[in-house]
Every structure is written in structure tokens, then in C-alpha cells.
Amino acid sequence: MLVDVGVDGVKVGIGPGSICTTRIVAGVGISQLTAISEVAKALQGSGVSLIADGGIRYSGDIVKALVAGANCVMVGGLFAGTDETPGELELYQGRSYKCYRGMGSVAAMQRGSKDRYFQETVAQDKLVPEGVEGRVPHKGPALGVIHQLMGGVKSGMGYTGCRTISELQKKATFVRISAASIRESHVHDVSITKSPANYTRS
């Protein structure tokens, strides 16, 4: 195991990202929350940090990842579209967008990420992508996104009565919910006229 060779951290997540197709193309990967929980159990007592990579759509997902055993999360899609991300602004149907591509997309592979997908010796026209390219709405400065994410995490910790991540991991528990409960958790029975900065329903 990686712990035995002295790693400082383990990155967890095969295919949960919004622009990733690995689970469909390669048939590999499990629910991100399950993966975090299983790896956290394996790392228990080792002092090795767990980095949850992908699957974060809302600030509440960060709270859940921390409860499941992550020490931190990697976020890509939520920052896509901010001023600080690469890519030019483009206008589409009167709205501003930025290009967002996965590391497994053909364009990213052609620019150097082939080895990450075990295709370093593959010709450009034979690449097998595990991600897509798309566009996301322009979001302005990343600081605004960070503020909303931090606020959501603070709120989650407040609701569970926890002052630290360690306390959150000890005290908070998961409860299985139904599809009806998931629908109830989201905005329902109303047409949103003014979207808040920290919520969209896609």
C-alpha cells in the first residue's frame, strides 16, 4: 500500500468530475462518497492525508466529503468560469462563458496530459479521451466562489455543532435518504427568478 512507501497524502476519486467520462469509457470507479469512506478506513491511524478529488457540486458536498474522512477536497468545476481560470471569455446567445476542459479531453491530452491516462506513446489521432470540453457561465472573481464555499462549510459545521474538521469527522453521521428526500432537499414548487451565487439546479 502507498502508506508503506511513505506518502504524505492519497488522492481519491476516479471519474466523479463534471467533465470526466472515465467511468463510462473505462468502466472503472465508484461513488465518490463511498471511495472516500473506504480509503479513510484503510488510512486510519497512518497519519496520511486523504484528498477527495472531484464530485463537488455544492458546498454541502465538501461537508459530506470531510465527514466521510477527507482532510481536504480538490475542486475544478466550481472554479471553472472564474476570472483566474485559463481561457478566453466568449459570448454565446448574449451571455459570457469560459471554456472548461477535463484533463482527459483530447485537447488536454494533446497538450501534455496523455501520461496521466497511460497513453504517453499513443499517436495524437489514436487517443482515447476520458473527458470532454465544454463551456461554463462566467462567474467573475474566484474569491466570490471561495467565500460561498467557506460559508457553506461553516454553516454545515454549525448545524452539526462542530468547531473543527476532526470534531466533524467524529460527531457527524450519515443517514440514507430516498429519492423523494433528495427532491425535497432542492428548491421545489417554484420558478427561481433570482439565482443565489451558491446554488443552481442542473
Check residue 108 and give its pLDDT. 81
Q: What is the pLDDT of residues 94-144, one digit of tens each?
A: 999 999 988 888 888 888 787 887 788 888 888 888 889 999 999 999 999
Q: Answer whether residue 187 is part of any domain.
A: no
Query: Are 2 and 73 found together in one domain?
Result: yes
Query: Are 37 and 102 found together in one domain?
Result: no
The structural domain count of the chain equals 2
23 catalytic residue (yes or no): no
Q: What is the pLDDT of residues 137-183, one digit of tens each?
A: 999 999 999 999 999 999 999 999 999 999 999 999 999 999 999 89
Q: Answer whether residue 31 is part of any domain.
A: yes
Which grid cell is 51? 484528498
Find out whether 160 and 175 touch, Cβ atoms under 8 Å. no
DSSP E strand stretches across 2-115: 9-12, 49-53, 72-74, 89-92, 95-101
Residue 127: CB partners within 8 Å, gap ≥ 6?
106, 109, 110, 114, 119
The pTM of this model reads 0.89
- The more confidently predicted of residues 201 and 9 is 9
**Please, which pLDDT band fits residue 4 given cuts at 50, 70 and 90?**
confident
Query: Are 31 and 65 found together in one domain?
Result: yes
Q: Answer whether residue 193 is part of any domain.
A: no
- What burial letters (b/e) apply to 69-86, b meaning 16+ CB within 10 Å? bbbebbbbbbbbbbeebe
Cα three-residue angle 112-70-30, rounded to 5 degrees: 65
Query: Are 60 and 126 found together in one domain?
Result: no
Nearest of 130, 136, 129, 74 to residue 100 by alpha carbon = 136
| Integer Cα distance of 76 and 78 in angstroms | 6
Q: What is the pLDDT of residues 19-30, one digit of tens each?
A: 999 999 999 999
Q: Answer whether residue 47 is part of any domain.
A: yes
Check residue 202 and give its pLDDT. 67
Query: Are 93 and 118 found together in one domain?
Result: yes
Query: Are 19 and 67 found together in one domain?
Result: yes
Q: Answer whether residue 6 is part of any domain.
A: yes
State the CATH number of the domain containing residue 2. 3.40.50
Query: Are 7 and 72 found together in one domain?
Result: yes
Nearest of 91, 45, 50 to residue 67 by alpha carbon = 50
Query: Are 74 and 104 found together in one domain?
Result: no
Find out whether 54 and 103 touch, Cβ atoms under 8 Å. no
Domain residues for the domain of 65 are: 1-78
Residue reference for cell 502507498: 2
Q: Answer whether residue 56 is part of any domain.
A: yes
20 catalytic residue (yes or no): yes
Q: Which of 20, 99, 111, 162 is catalytic?
A: 20
Query: Are 41 and 95 found together in one domain?
Result: no
Q: Answer whether residue 161 is part of any domain.
A: no
Query: Are 130 and 105 found together in one domain?
Result: yes
Query: Are 95 and 130 found together in one domain?
Result: yes
Which of 57, 78, 99 is the last residue in one of the domains? 78
Q: Which of 116, 135, 163, 176 is catalytic?
A: 116
Query: Are 34 and 71 found together in one domain?
Result: yes
Query: Residue 8 half-sphere exposure, CB side, CA atoms within 13 Å?
Result: 0
Residue reference for cell 471554456: 99
Q: Answer whether residue 148 is part of any domain.
A: no
**Please, which pLDDT band fits residue 17 given cuts at 50, 70 and 90?**
very high
